[in-house]
């Protein structure tokens, strides 16, 4: 089967991970072009990825008739117009989460996807492709825990990266927009129901810089879903031990916990600190398999003309839920979530 020729937009923290996967790990893909507004990243693409075609301008990359698919890993506020432009140029599109940063933008992406049913549109909620999370979903489908009625999700960035989070805080959209979108997607995926009510609160005990820009270092939100199920999301930026992503799904007949210890590997170190399990340091390490598997899935969908499970409407809904969560947090009120 012919390889799918791909152009990537964005070569920042995550873009480089996707670019390396496309260049070296995805058998049916060939990364042929890259676009970034940062010239040094284009130098990286030439030197490290061996790319000849590099662009400072997204529209210029789209003119390249060779490119069949575009992978968008730019800053979140660029996603929606780039999705529309790429689909209108006849390219299949993968975009990283979030779909967009406003509902209006998300609607532009929805319209573009509706204009091009012949093209694949893939939204990268990669945690769904993590082997442990997809295994949990399969077990739940098989009835292993009965009817799921509660989800508890934790996502805490390592304290080691807090300086970066402080710098970015004023532009992040707030802790729930910035950090909770994957957990919000999990509520809908695991509980198979949309949240219809939310209450949220925040706290800062260590880094007052977050408070200074109207944000917090820790956030907690509670949701009630249309089918009566409950969800609790805890996000934060100060995990001392590493990158802590943990999820628990509770059902009428049992519970599944995914990654209660965010362990690096199967080693246990016995020393003066006790019996120690080292933890993963960040998202590229924890979700390396998920990023590769989701990209394989994107290429598979193009080649086999399969419809991706996650739709553009899932992207709009998760953005809507994140926005209402931020509003509930700011107003300190229980709010209805409307779609």
Ligand X SMILES: NC(=O)c1ccc[n+]([C@@H]2O[C@H](COP(=O)([O-])OP(=O)(O)OC[C@H]3O[C@@H](n4cnc5c(N)ncnc54)[C@H](O)[C@@H]3O)[C@@H](O)[C@H]2O)c1
Size of the site for ligand X (CB under 6 A): 23
Name 47's Cβ contacts closer than 8 Å, sequence gap at least 6: none
Task: Find out whether 223 and 191 touch, Cβ atoms under 8 Å.
Answer: no
Q: Which residues pair with 177 in a beta bridge?
A: none
Residue 36 binds to ligand X (criterion: CB under 6 A): yes
CA–CA gap between residue 193 and residue 187 (Å, rounded): 8
Please report how close the Cβ of residue 172 comes to ligand X at its closest, in angstroms: 10
Task: Find out whether 180 and 195 touch, Cβ atoms under 8 Å.
Answer: no
Contacts with ligand X, 80-99, as mask; x by CB under 6 A: ----------------xx--
Local structure of residue 3 (DSSP, 8 states):
P
What Å distances lie between residue 157 and 236, 245, 282, CA to CA?
A: 6, 8, 7
- Residue from the set 45, 73, 169, 180 that interacts with ligand X by CB under 6 A: 73
Please report, as residue ranges, which positions from 262 to 291 form the binding site for ligand X (by CB under 6 A).
283
Contacts with ligand X, 106-145, as mask; x by CB under 6 A: ------------------x-x-------------------
Residue 10 binds to ligand X (criterion: CB under 6 A): yes
C-beta closer to ligand X: residue 126 or 328: 126
**Length of the chain, please?**
339
Pairing of strands 148-158, 230-239: parallel
CA–CA gap between residue 119 and residue 69 (Å, rounded): 9
C-beta closer to ligand X: residue 73 or 93: 73
- Residue from the set 23, 76, 218, 319 that interacts with ligand X by CB under 6 A: 76
Q: Please give the residue ranges that form the binding site for ligand X (CB under 6 A).
A: 9-15, 35-38, 41, 58, 73-76, 78, 96-97, 124, 126, 283
């Amino acid at each position: 089967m012919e390889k799918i020729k791909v152009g990537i937009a964005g070569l920042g923290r995550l873009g480089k991970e996707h670019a390396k996967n496309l260049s070296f790990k995805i058998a049916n893909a060939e990364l042929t072009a890259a676009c970034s507004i940062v010239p040094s990243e284009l130098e990286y693409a030439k030197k490290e990825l061996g790319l000849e075609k590099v662009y400072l301008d997204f529209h210029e990359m789209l003119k390249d008739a060779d490119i069949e698919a575009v992978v968008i890993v730019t800053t979140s506020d660029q996603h929606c117009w780039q999705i529309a432009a790429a689909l209108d140029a006849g390219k299949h599109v993968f975009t990283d989460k979030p779909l967009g940063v406003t509902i209006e933008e998300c609607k532009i992406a929805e319209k573009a996807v509706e204009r091009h049913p012949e093209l694949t549109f893939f939204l990268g909620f990669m945690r769904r492709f993590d082997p442990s999370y997809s295994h949990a979903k399969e077990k739940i489908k098989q009835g292993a825990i009965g009817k799921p009625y509660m989800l508890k999700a934790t996502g805490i960035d390592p304290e080691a990266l807090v300086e970066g989070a402080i710098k970015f805080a004023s532009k992040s959209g707030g802790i729930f927009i910035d950090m909770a979108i994957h957990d919000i997607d999990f509520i809908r995926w695991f509980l198979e129901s949309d949240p219809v009510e939310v209450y949220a609160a925040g706290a800062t005990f260590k880094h007052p810089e977050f408070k200074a820009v109207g944000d917090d270092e820790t956030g907690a939100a509670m949701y009630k879903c249309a089918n009566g199920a409950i969800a609790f999301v805890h996000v934060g930026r100060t995990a001392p031990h590493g990158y802590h992503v943990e999820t628990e799904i509770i059902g009428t007949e049992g519970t599944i916990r995914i990654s209660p210890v965010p362990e690096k590997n199967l080693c246990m170190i016995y020393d003066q600190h006790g019996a120690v399990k080292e933890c993963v340091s960040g998202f590229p390490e924890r979700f390396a398999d998920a990023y590769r598997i989701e990209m394989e899935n994107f290429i598979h969908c193009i080649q086999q003309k399969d419809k991706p499970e996650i739709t553009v409407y899932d992207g709009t809904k998760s953005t809507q839920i994140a926005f209402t969560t931020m509003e509930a947090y700011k107003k300190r009120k229980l709010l209805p979530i409307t779609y």
